[in-house]
Amino acid sequence: MDIELFNFDLPRENIALRPASPRDAAKMLVVKPEGLEHKGVLDLADYLTEKDVLVFNDTRVIPGRLSGKRGDAKVELTLHKRESDTVWRAFAKPAKKCRLGDKLDFNGLAAEVIALGAEGERTIKFEVPESTMTSALETHGVMPLPPYIASQRAVDERDKFDYQTVFAKEDGAVAAPTAGLHFTPKMLECLSDKGVNRYGVTLHVGAGTFLPVKVENTDDHKMHSEWGEITPEVAEALNQARAKGGRIVAVGTTSLRLLESAASPDGKILPFKGDTDIFITPGYRFKGVDLLMTNFHLPCSTLFMLVSAFSGMEIMRNAYDVAIAEKYRFYSYGDSSLLFPAKDTQ
């Protein structure tokens, strides 16, 4: 498909630089085939029943942006995929300063470039004991805010809290599963009072999620892979919920992509552990997800393609036009939407 089909104009003032305060004060646009409803994220429980299950991503964002030097030259790394405890794939800037075999120093954290990839990607081995890698990143790295935020303000101490969900427990992401940022103890209590069960899956979101689509046709785009896991226990619980008439509600596109990667043709969720590079565009038939809660995404992005596949291209273009006109806040720290599937996507 032509990438321009997914383009739209977004005023800069619609880009959220901070989350709503409190987080559950964010707005939520409910998108149904028959029309739109303007709500808040605290209204989520009103659209669910005790048979439904929420599936959230329990990945934890690590401080995956590092600034340092190769000799006298300044370099910056944005980690995006862990290969082992001390080996990471990263986007280097400037990439030409990070050649094969180069030694890098990030204010005392030493590393070596051990492989070269396309589009500025490098594989980096850090010279620390495996058991101390996470603490080393906590000491030397900063939270990897998306470019559309980081280009407008500096990362600060607030982001260590703001860019982490209440579900976060499994270290490994370098981008937040942002739909989960809206959840607070109050919101979880509302869902529990309704009898809605929730389950965690893990997808370590990589910085590749922010890369622009540089091709003219979606068929030519290559997704970066991300590591994920759905345990046998969670898979069984989700299948049982559906067998009893419940719906699987994905909190975020990361949860949805993992569930769809694990779903069999008949819609059964299978245990999953490994990499996925699933790329969802209009025409895809959804098997594992019935509803999707997600933030508002970039023009021409793979995520806007995904939501257009889920709810329909015409419906989503209209929804985004309305959201922009009504001053909804976009992107990672922005408002939310609850998407119902188009009639022909499942």
Cα–Cα distance, 127 to 138 (Å, whole number):
15
- The parent domain of residue 220 ranges over 3-61+164-339
How does 224-259 read in b/e, with b if 16+ C-beta sit within 10 Å?
Answer: bbbbbbbeeebbebbbebbeeebbbbbbbbbbbbbb
Q: What pLDDT, on the 0 to 100 scale, is given for residue 256?
A: 98
pLDDT at 146 over 90: no
pLDDT at 53 over 70: yes
- 146 lies in some domain: no
Q: What pLDDT, on the 0 to 100 scale, is given for residue 343?
A: 81
Q: Which CATH number is 230's domain given?
A: 3.40.1780.10
| pLDDT tens-digit map of 147-200 | 889 889 988 989 999 999 999 999 989 889 999 999 999 999 999 999 999 999
Looking at 141, 172, 204, which one is the last position of a domain?
141
Q: What pLDDT, on the 0 to 100 scale, is given for residue 148?
A: 85
Same domain as 103, residue 225: no
Cis geometry, peptide bond prior to residue 94 (ω within 30 degrees of 0): yes
Cα–Cα distance, 3 to 211 (Å, whole number):
14
Q: What is the mean pLDDT of residues 277-294?
A: 96
How does 286-305 read in b/e, with b if 16+ C-beta sit within 10 Å?
Answer: bbbbbbbbbbbbbbbbbbbb
pLDDT at 57 over 90: yes
- 177 lies in some domain: yes
Q: What pLDDT, on the 0 to 100 scale, is given for residue 210?
A: 65
Q: What pLDDT, on the 0 to 100 scale, is given for residue 346?
A: 64
| pLDDT tens-digit map of 295-344 | 999 999 999 999 999 999 999 999 999 999 999 999 999 999 999 999 87
Q: What pLDDT, on the 0 to 100 scale, is given for residue 16?
A: 96
Report the mean per-residue pLDDT for the chain.
94
- 147 lies in some domain: no
Same domain as 170, residue 21: yes
Same domain as 275, residue 198: yes
Maximum Cα–Cα distance for the chain, whole Å? 63
| pLDDT tens-digit map of 205-250 | 987 666 668 888 888 888 888 999 999 999 999 999 999 999 999 9
Reading phi first (left if > 0) and then psi (alpha if -120 to 50, else beta), residue 90 is in beta
Sequence-distant (6+) residues with CB within 8 A of 237 are 53, 197, 199
